């Protein structure tokens, strides 16, 4: 079956360290991947999009990589802060046509001061 | 101004009742969605409308009926509520083109007792 998997266990790191979150997928050939942040009691908020022909994308302290051979995307937060604590979701478009984003179950990140 | 707003934020009701959740977006997007997030945090698409036309209708019981009076509104009506319907329901909107990020509302937590 088609699946997206993220680290199911919560990730606890110390402030200032780099957090690395993993998103693996099977049976898809996505043209792009999106990453979202979700805070408790709120809807997901879009962070970054990376296309299949882009190895890496950066936005401030965020970096996303996309390896279509490994079928994996990595999401990095450098110099992490307690305010980065949230659940991070990866998503891909099942048909690459827009309109049907499939989400992973998310990884909960906790950054301790 | 809230971009995607849904009401109510909390909904507690008994089995067998009929209830509605309303959603409005002021982003000028043509496409709107309903997603369901279960207790394990999986976000699953239920419906997608593009300019008032139903585009995606996942395997959702007939008791769920979306209604789009205009492209800025997408409401969800649920008949004969069941315990398993308890979840957080998110409305979202986007441009119809491929790779457009989704803008989510803050969810409606439905509890069926």
- What percent of chain A is modeled with pLDDT above 90? 76
Suggest the residue from B31, B94, B102, B109 to mutate for an interface test with chain A (most A CBs closer than 10 A).
B102
Tens-digit pLDDT profile for residues A44-81: 999 999 998 998 999 999 999 999 999 999 999 999 99
Q: A46 and B105 in contact by Cβ < 8 A? A: no
Compute φ and ψ for B51, nearest 5 degrees.
50, 50
pLDDT band at B1 (very low <50, low <70, confident <90, very high): low
CATH number at residue B45: 2.60.40.10
Fold of the A3-112 domain: Immunoglobulin-like (2.60.40)
Residues of B in contact with A100 (CB under 8 A): 45, 48, 56
Bridge partners (DSSP) of residue A76 are A20, A63
Among left, alpha and beta (phi > 0; psi -120 to 50; other), residue B62 is alpha
CB contact under 8 A, B98 and A97: yes
- Domain residue extents for chain A: 3-112
Give the domain range for residue B43.
4-112
Q: What is the pLDDT at residue B85? A: 96
Q: What total number of domains does chain B contain?
A: 1
Interface probe, candidates A46, A101, A106, chain B, greatest B C-beta count within 10 A = A101
Share of chain B above pLDDT 90, in %: 77
Region of poorest pLDDT, from A25-34, B24-33, B85-94: A25-34
* Smallest Cα distance from A5 to chain B, Å: 11
Q: What are the beta bridge partners of residue B92?
A: B33, B104
pLDDT of res. A96: 65
């Amino acid at each position: 079956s088609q699946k997206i998997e993220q680290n199911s266990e919560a990730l606890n790191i110390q402030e200032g360290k780099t957090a690395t979150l993993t998103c693996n997928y099977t049976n898809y050939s996505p043209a792009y991947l999106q990453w979202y942040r979700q805070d408790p009691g709120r809807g997901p908020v879009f962070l970054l999009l990376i296309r299949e022909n882009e190895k890496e994308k950066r936005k401030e302290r965020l970096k996303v990589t996309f390896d279509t051979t490994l079928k994996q995307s990595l999401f990095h937060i450098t110099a992490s802060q307690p305010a980065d604590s949230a659940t991070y979701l990866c998503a891909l478009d099942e048909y690459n046509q827009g309109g049907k984003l499939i989400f992973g179950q998310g990884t909960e990140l906790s950054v301790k001061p | 101004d809230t971009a995607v707003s849904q009401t109510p934020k909390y909904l507690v009701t008994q089995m067998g009742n009929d209830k509605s959740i309303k959603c409005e977006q002021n982003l000028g997007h043509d496409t709107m969605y309903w997603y369901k997030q279960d207790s394990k945090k999986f976000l699953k698409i239920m419906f997608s409308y593009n300019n008032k036309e139903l585009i995606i209708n996942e395997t959702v019981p007939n008791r769920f009926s979306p209604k789009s009076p205009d492209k800025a509104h997408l409401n969800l009506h649920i008949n004969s509520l069941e315990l398993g319907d308890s979840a957080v329901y998110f409305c979202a909107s986007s441009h119809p083109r491929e790779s457009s990020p989704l803008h989510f509302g803050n969810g409606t937590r439905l509890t069926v007792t």
